[in-house]
Structure 1
């Protein structure tokens, strides 16, 4: 069996079974993303930070079968690699839109109120801006998730820690937002939009 077919089998296993090394029941951030996509019966999802394509596979696994994932990342080379992972997993090209560019520039171009779930998988000093842009994209009842949120950061004066505090302040001031922090992996902050 060639290396390519092993890669395809592993990619398919990731999409259909829960990951090559992860059990299908677990509490990793990827499990949570898949769960949220399934619970929301997500048909349209935006992912900020394509990475290796692994989180896209988990999101797609939770979404409805004809759902479309839009993934935005400034790293076009990384997106090419993710596209190959998705292709190896047998994901139809019609189920994904990979867009290269800065999310803060591209998210305003997406349909307002047209998405069930927005996943922000990058660490950024622009957390409040991503919240604003993401909430604008969500339908009522939709959820925005910030991954890698360390609420108890040892460096409380870093630009990232200040941005996180600003994010929390903005969320707490908005009665239409319902937040929850999940201590899974490096931490998740999920925020539901009431109306």
Structure 2
């Protein structure tokens, strides 16, 4: 099968299982119009994140990597009454687009969007006494995966679910030559989750509109 076929199946999934969603469609359109990288999660992946957060009854969510806020909207809709999503974005221009998308979706009161280097924002969150978070989604610069996972552990509790995106990378996660920093970041995520006795995790390969990739999913013991 080809990526064209995978995309067609994704379209079938969305057409069969999802209601039309003007806010999410508008967010993707705004991201394209503003020239943001087209690296948002797919609709099916966004709904998976939404359901995982709902299944766990998450009230507090930490998202590392906002981009244009598409996944943020999915997560903000998942938190229970009075819940909050703290989302971290490096690029001010991306954050401005995300803020507009989130406000348009009617979710501004549920989202705390912080702009700047994620590691600095995470340190600030700890200093503020934020957390523990119930659900953490890591989808930022891949070489920092082990640093983000370390911070996730500091800001979590037993039962926290941690999801790390883009860990298969067209199967390149098998490469050990160290030439691709993003692949090394994916391998570092596997190493961290596999070796940390506080975590119980797995990974799922995915195909679809976003190509061949996957998520690592772990729960804090």
Please say whether Structure 1 and Structure 2 have the same fold, judged by a TM-score greater than 0.5: yes
Runs of 4+ in 1 over 4 A off after TM superposition: 12-15
1:17-28 matches, cutoff 5 A: 28=44
Structure (1 or 2) with the greater helix fraction: 2
How far apart, in 2, do the equivalents of 1:12 and 1:120 lie?
20
1:103-118 matches, cutoff 5 A: 103-110=118-125, 111=129, 113-118=131-136
How far apart, in 1, do the equivalents of 2:89 and 2:215 lie?
20
Distance 1:27 1:84, change over 3 A: closer
- The reply to whether residue 101 of structure 1 matches residue 119 of structure 2 is no
In the other structure, the counterpart of 2:57 is 41
Q: Is the CA contact 1:127–1:164 (under 8 Å) kept in the aligned structure 2?
A: yes
How far apart, in 1, do the equivalents of 2:76 and 2:185 lie?
30
For 1:31-83, what per-residue CA distance to the aligned partner results, in whole angstroms no more than 9, with x for missing partners? 22101110111111111111111101111122113210111011111111111
In the other structure, the counterpart of 1:159 is 181
For 1:113-160, what per-residue CA distance to the aligned partner results, in whole angstroms no more than 9, with x for missing partners? 520011111242111111100111112100111112116217543222
Distance 1:14 1:180, change over 3 A: farther
1:33-182 matches, cutoff 5 A: 33-91=49-107, 93-110=108-125, 111=129, 113-150=131-168, 152-153=171-172, 156=176, 157=178, 158-182=180-204
For 1:5-43, what per-residue CA distance to the aligned partner results, in whole angstroms no more than 9, with x for missing partners? xxxx7117889xxxxxxxxxx983212210111011111
Q: State the Cα RMSD in Å.
A: 2.4
Q: Which runs of 5+ in 1 are unaligned?
A: 1-8, 16-25
In the other structure, the counterpart of 1:5 is none
> TM-score, normalised to structure 2's length?
0.71
- Worse-matched range after superposition: 70-79 or 170-179: 170-179
1:183-194 matches, cutoff 5 A: 183-185=205-207, 186-194=213-221
> TM-score, normalised to structure 1's length?
0.80
Report the Cα offset of residue 99 of structure 1. 0.3
